[in-house]
Structure 1
């Protein structure tokens, strides 16, 4: 089977990570959750009080602190699954809450942060065989990826999905809080000057408002088989 790089972009809570992780496992590829990288930087900012008096992210302070941040993916207790480590500590269980979500888009909008992480991400794909999901994978990180996917869904459906996920983890959040966070992240991600969220011209678009994640996965997997020169059954 020919090895390729697969870039999956799209809005928050569209199931990008779920599809990407499953594809990587099925193909024996490396899965890279770039959102986890930006969330880990956001967690660093929170832990180090890099916020101004209004509780907003202090961008210049974070840029100054970037040399103190080390990110890498480490094996989890699940076979074949890797987690993001911040300065040697696996922080997967600390980066999925609404507090981190509230500043991750401002973190990702900082040019110096994106430049640092994009370099690391591009290095991971040099030898092919990578499934990477995020906001600018097909447009910036892997513009030459052999397969580009763009996933979207209504804000309402994404809110319901995210709310169920957070409540399943025991977090007390409301529909309105999650909806407002998703809408604001969409605005920041789509309008930032560096690496904005947009569909690559040659990306295949999937709107999963009317698709289950299983239906969406099967459509994408069949496309992967075509791109890797495997006969589609």
Structure 2
């Protein structure tokens, strides 16, 4: 947990947990957006090719046992070249959301190694990383981070985040236990308006973009070397 949350920044090297009034707990590692930047680069390569269609793969992984064994999930889409920036962002968001759900569900099968599957902060942190990738700026100050002391009060009162499962990209908020005359129970919050401006692509019948593999599974040693599509 960061000692000075007010100075936290989103960057490719960010890590740690902070608590914000607007998004609840945020995992800065999930909010880096590095995976989305890589995904968008693949779109640029496809759009600059001379092919009528191109394929894009997006994956999320975890490593177990000192990072020697890796596993994760992926999706692969076929894209018709000629997509606008708005369409690319919409398709990329759909890819991330689908994979993130599959990956969080996948983690629940490894409960002996992690309790992170659908942890309260995971999906909303991924979504924050998406917006950071498409429009880089330090959004954390807008989300009103609380002090380390106030964050620790919540952690001590409510317990580890893995207890609170969140299958939504909306935040779970944890009221400050020090504030009297309010209910001290976690509750569902709302996303800021700027985190709702991109809608995930759903027009798969249009033919401009569609799933080729929606439930790919990855197993690897050290690096992703083997992937199995389903």
Structure number with the higher helix fraction is 1
TM-score, normalising length: structure 1? 0.31
| Bigger Rg, which one | 2
Structure number with the higher strand fraction is 2
